[in-house]
Chain A
């Protein structure tokens, strides 16, 4: 729109596609570098970034593949620029190698996966929630990861901003795990004024260039970060390393210390990171646990259930990882059963079962073009209550 000319943040009430809201959220959060490769249903994010980044002094580059895209955003982040890539299943698989590198070298960056149907090329234009475990475990070795699951176009904006803030706070790659419906859906979005958007930037060191150790953590387990070109002459490597960044390929102690800290900086802050939304759970006898687009159908089902006198409630997962164990356990203690609808063959339901302990968990699978119908979820709630 013409009134947006020259503005970094296109504030106001808009009618927008999810993928575009995601790109706008990134720019509002300070992202100035995007490297990607075209892939359905995430391409609109790249297209929007190609259009918008040059306007705000940023850089868009279309790489030769998703391996290179992921490597390039790590490079840009080390050069001091907030960076992002966006993809879908097949590209997400290719990114796994360097997602591990981003974890190991504690690189703030954001990876968006607009999930489609898999495995392999699967159904490019159809939604899925089949990558939630790959998001958690896809790269080799031990690590923790932060994954956010938007369920609306508004959240495509808000959670992308949040993803950058978390990435900068904890020096980690953060994932936004959307799905084809949320990505391609058009909805009303309220984009706040630039000054009222909370933007976090990475912590800088107070140590001199001589004393600085790039991987020496502060009390919160997160090391302050300098960037290339600031005179520190520091080294970073994907090898196991000490606080100075020097390889320690044979020291058990170095491996223990580094990998444990990489996990702990998320684990010990899990309560701060983890977010859920609770609807009508206070007196619920049946709880639905859902995320992403499926949670919209679940909300509708819960309301319909209430309308016919069934005490149902919804626990919507906003962060998939770290998994909100405590919240799920609390709900599980109060309800007779939990219903978990997912657009896969059973992934997050395993986590729900683990946290729910004795409480029965009923899984509803759905694959292909559309999420569960509210009536289907309602029917399961009905059956479960009996």
Chain B
């Protein structure tokens, strides 16, 4: 009898939801794989993990993870996750979403959750484009890039996500590409163990849409770009961590200690209750 082959991370996935909706060559599966591996290596209790996502291609990730999970409205996963974490602090609440969701429509929630040092882990799949709606430009679309809403080339400057996260007060900030699976997994593990707001940007290939519009129409071509131009510059100035055609600066940029919102809330609550007695 032939033994049925089992994926090593099957227990992290809702099998009945597979196959997923992502295109061939998409980086989302790699991010999900690294996340599962991180949970596995840390031996996390899956009953205590909540995955929250917003809208967009990577937004579907919460439907695939075999944990409690919630798929919010566009841009709101961090605000929703804030409510979950504060109501049940023993839960590990992870937000996995896209660049448009987290930094365009949801930008306000991101900067304030980082400022508060809310105990959340935020993983952003940055594919430079709105994939699910067919390829419109967003806050990370490179200058001059072609998208359906920049038919003469993009004239908007981009957000540098790691610089933004660092400036807003995140205690752990890293950037990797989907090619750096081992380092990405290590960063996710680090973030999951960190107290406070951690942020990981994953530069992710979207050959089907971004690539096709910008002369990198296969996953191999996009990955080749990442391979050719990525430079690991740990703890370099995030303000200078550029993503251009010629250079993608990756690495860990911030790893500091600062009292988290949950910790300060606990202390404040104790004080309030002391006064009440």
Contact = CB atoms under 8 A, between A and B. Distances in A.
By CB atoms of chain A within 10 A, which of B81, B83, B265, B268 has the most? B83
Interface in B230-277: 265, 268-269, 271-273, 276-277
A186 interface: no
A-side interface mostly: mixed
A74 B269 contact: no
B-side interface mostly: helix
A75 B81 contact: yes
Contacts of A76: 83-84, 86-87
A97 B86 contact: no
A55 B273 CA distance: 5
A97 B111 CA distance: 20
Interface of A: 5-6, 32-33, 35, 54-55, 57, 59, 61, 63-65, 67-69, 71-81, 83, 97-98, 100-101, 105, 227-239, 246-247
B101 to A, nearest CB: 13
Contacts of A73: 83
Nearest to A71: B79
Interface of B: 14, 16-17, 46-48, 50, 52, 60, 62-63, 66-73, 75-76, 79-88, 90-91, 108-109, 111-112, 265, 268-269, 271-273, 276-277
30 contacts: A32-B87, A35-B83, A54-B269, A54-B273, A55-B276, A68-B112, A71-B73, A71-B79, A75-B70, A75-B80, A75-B84, A76-B83, A78-B70, A79-B83, A79-B84, A79-B85, A79-B87, A79-B91, A81-B87, A97-B73, A228-B88, A229-B48, A233-B14, A233-B67, A235-B69, A235-B70, A235-B71, A237-B62, A238-B72, A246-B63
Contacts of B90: 229
A105 B14 CA distance: 19
A1 B75 CA distance: 43
Contacts of A67: 75-76, 79, 108-109
Contacts of B88: 79-81, 227-229
A50 B79 CA distance: 19
Contacts of A77: 83, 87
B98 to A, nearest CB: 16
B276 A101 contact: no
